[in-house]
A and B are shown apart, each in its own frame.
Chain A
């Protein structure tokens, strides 16, 4: 029994042991304090200041000739306090949302636009300054709703992508893949979208062009950093779709303005518009497009079991299809213009050609016919159904309510539910209300009136802009994310575009290219979002991303592959 021992019979061993115990306790306390510093304790919740809701009575307007009088512009914002618990680690992050407007102004301080943003920020608990990342979607004319409600913010809309079960009622959930543990996030709506409007004498139209847009986005970011100084924070840009050419143009503008960027993330790229929208007589680019989309289309065909034998995995199959597209480029030459709807009369492969292509690629003849035949692939691949363009795996039977007013079920998948959630989230969670206006998720007016010219071409080629950024900042970390099943911005086209940088003398760009099962909005897919998160954390922390394609592994561009693009 313990009491057998006299209370005062302390031996040197016991003293040492008790000292060790005390030391251990101190160490434990220290560790707890250290952990506490990184992982907030529940008691902290009670220390939250009260939310500061904001009712913005401004009647923002979004037409081409609309602009706010400078006298009514303000920089007010709603502030709210939240917490996110990562279930797997138990780690909790307390964060703040700031929702409102900042005024982008030119170098002389003249206001350009009152721009709406939602910022998610957390106190820095680690030894290094927290990064801040600016997010925006594309269009042009799109607000940032898709990235903000779908990707890495602390709450997201849970979709069943690539399926449609439960549509259109999807819940808003805590985002276990949020980047709030890694970076602050600021989601920006360009003028004429979201709640953003130009300031007179500018009008929304003033900023509806490739260069004009990049200029006002730069000026917003400068304003954000002036109001929220981040002198030591690494600064990142994250753009999706048209957001990728926007980033290419914006990055060197920021760099020239004295904002040193740590990295840019290009998700679902359209880096050179000329690839996708060539002149009607540009037969080579028509063929380039046809073979560049083929590997992504083949992944979709495999999803619908139209590849025989079935591929072992999306990754290895993508390599085989890149190889097939490249080797057999010349065989596609007769069909490229037809594929883009530019041939008169159209030219279709003969049954013998289909059979040969099928032998070479393992893609079933039916799927090749859907690709190169007279009917659009969206309705031809799966009889009786329409497949998506944003995500080719999303399908709906013809006659489905998903196809009412929308020919792309992967578009309908988010187009209907996200704005509904937004209207609840703005007042309930962000504490922001704007009773005299309506949030513009997508402005068709903006994209119809957009000035696409850039760098002396009618549509933008932004690979030179990307190289300008690399020239200004040779250490910029470039991460390029692709969805294998994205039929809108094909991954192989993006790799070919980036391949143009390969024979530029004297550069060693830090480019990593990642690929995931998924469509244009890769993050919707529940198996890919955790992988994207893990890859992004590695990227932010300066580590190589396992399995990413390196700069050296990029393919040679079509334009360097001999006369008329033939290999």
Chain B
């Protein structure tokens, strides 16, 4: 009787272990409750498969678009350009501090392409 009881407890513990362990490694389909720092995942998997992981030129284009999104966020008036002051107050010190070198045409405004040319000319 006692043995059976212990066996049941053991089975319960083991089952609990199984369920959680499968969350952690085999399928992080639900939020893992126990890990001290995850990594945690959203409740639902992405609905459609992501495009194959980018490499080469496609990856480079994505990197550039990440940078451009910061430029665009600072360009609140959507003029396609930033002044030194705009850059400075938009957490774009990189642009503000190097403004003279980026603004090759000395117009007082720079486009993202100007910034890109400056970046790519760095040794």
Least CB distance from B27 to A in Å reads: 3
Contact of A414 among B27, B36, B91, B96 (CB under 8 A): B36
Least CB distance from B102 to A in Å reads: 13
A7 within 8 A of B: no
Q: Which of A66-74, A113-121, A136-144 contacts B (4 or more CB under 8 A)?
A: A136-144
Q: Which of A80-88, A153-161, A173-181, A459-467 contacts B (4 or more CB under 8 A)?
A: A459-467
Q: How far is the CA of A341 from the CA of B123 in the complex (A)?
A: 48
A441 within 8 A of B: yes
Cβ contact within 8 Å between B39 and A253? no
Cβ contact within 8 Å between B48 and A218? no
Q: How far is the CA of A450 from the CA of B44 in the complex (A)?
A: 12
Which residues on the A side are within 8 Å of B1 (C-beta)? none
Which residues on the A side are within 8 Å of B41 (C-beta)? 273, 276-277, 452, 459
Cβ contact within 8 Å between B59 and A279? no
Closest A residue to B16 by beta carbon equals: A407
Given contacts A339-B26, A341-B27, A488-B25, contact A389 B35 (CB under 8 A): yes
- From residue 1 to 49 of chain B, which have CB atoms closer than 8 A to chain A? 9-10, 13-14, 16-29, 31, 33-43, 45-49
Which residues on the A side are within 8 Å of B83 (C-beta)? none
Contact of B25 among A257, A403, A411, A487 (CB under 8 A): A487
Given contacts A255-B94, A257-B93, A376-B22, contact A398 B10 (CB under 8 A): yes
Cβ contact within 8 Å between A450 and B46? no
Total interface residues on A, CB under 8 Å, equals 95
Cβ contact within 8 Å between B49 and A285? yes
B77 within 8 A of A: no
Total interface residues on B, CB under 8 Å, equals 64
Q: How far is the CA of A463 from the CA of B9 in the complex (A)?
A: 46
Cβ contact within 8 Å between B13 and A408? no
A96 within 8 A of B: no
Closest A residue to B90 by beta carbon equals: A107
- From residue 42 to 74 of chain A, which have CB atoms closer than 8 A to chain B? none
Cβ contact within 8 Å between A471 and B119? yes
Which residues on the B side are within 8 Å of A259 (C-beta)? 93
Given contacts A241-B37, A253-B91, A442-B37, contact A463 B54 (CB under 8 A): yes
Which residues on the A side are within 8 Å of B92 (C-beta)? 256-258
Q: Which of A124-132, A229-237, A498-506 contacts B (4 or more CB under 8 A)?
A: A498-506
Q: Which of A19-27, A348-356, A535-543, A555-563 contacts B (4 or more CB under 8 A)?
A: A555-563
Cβ contact within 8 Å between A390 and B27? no
Which residues on the B side are within 8 Å of A219 (C-beta)? 91
Cβ contact within 8 Å between B25 and A242? no
Closest A residue to B53 by beta carbon equals: A559
Cβ contact within 8 Å between A399 and B9? yes
Least CB distance from B116 to A in Å reads: 9
Cβ contact within 8 Å between B60 and A467? yes
Which residues on the A side are within 8 Å of B36 (C-beta)? 142, 146, 390, 411, 414-415, 418, 441-442
Cβ contact within 8 Å between B53 and A488? no
Closest A residue to B15 by beta carbon equals: A379
B105 within 8 A of A: no
Given contacts A140-B40, A273-B41, A386-B17, contact A279 B27 (CB under 8 A): no
A457 within 8 A of B: yes
Least CB distance from B16 to A in Å reads: 7
The residue in A389, A455, A506 that gathers the most chain B C-beta atoms within 10 A of its C-beta is: A389
Q: How far is the CA of A341 from the CA of B97 in the complex (A)?
A: 51
Cβ contact within 8 Å between B46 and A407? no
Cβ contact within 8 Å between B67 and A468? yes
A330 within 8 A of B: no
A447 within 8 A of B: yes
Given contacts A139-B38, A256-B67, A272-B53, contact A399 B10 (CB under 8 A): yes
Cβ contact within 8 Å between B48 and A505? no
The residue in A139, A258, A398 that gathers the most chain B C-beta atoms within 10 A of its C-beta is: A258
Which residues on the A side are within 8 Å of B50 (C-beta)? 274, 278-279, 282, 285, 457, 461
Cβ contact within 8 Å between A140 and B38? yes
A553 within 8 A of B: no
Closest A residue to B14 by beta carbon equals: A398
Given contacts A256-B95, A471-B67, contact A377 B60 (CB under 8 A): no
Q: How far is the CA of A279 from the CA of B63 in the complex (A)?
A: 23
Which residues on the B side are within 8 Å of A146 (C-beta)? 36-37
Interface readout for A401-441 with B: 1 if CB under 8 Å, 0 if not?
00101111001001100100000000000000000000001
Given contacts A277-B46, A488-B39, contact A411 B55 (CB under 8 A): no
Which residues on the A side are within 8 Å of B26 (C-beta)? 339-341, 376-377
Least CB distance from B115 to A in Å reads: 9
A362 within 8 A of B: no
Interface readout for B64-95 with A: 1 if CB under 8 Å, 0 if not?
11110010000000000000000001111111
Q: How far is the CA of A255 from the CA of B115 in the complex (A)?
A: 13
Cβ contact within 8 Å between A407 and B55? no
Least CB distance from A389 to B in Å reads: 4
Least CB distance from B33 to A in Å reads: 7
Contact of B67 among A273, A463, A472, A502 (CB under 8 A): A472
- The 8 listed contacts between A and B (C-beta, < 8 Å) are A253-B91, A273-B39, A284-B49, A284-B52, A376-B25, A398-B13, A398-B17, A457-B50
Which residues of A approach B to under 8 Å, CB–CB?
106-108, 137-142, 146, 218-219, 240-242, 252-253, 255-259, 270, 272-282, 284-285, 293, 339-342, 375-379, 386, 389-390, 398-399, 403, 405-408, 411, 414-415, 418, 441-442, 444, 447-448, 450, 452, 455, 457-459, 461, 463-465, 467-468, 471-472, 474, 487-489, 497, 500-506, 557-560
A-B complex: 10 closest residue pairs judged by Cβ atoms: A258-B93, A407-B20, A341-B27, A378-B21, A282-B49, A464-B62, A142-B37, A467-B63, A447-B40, A376-B22
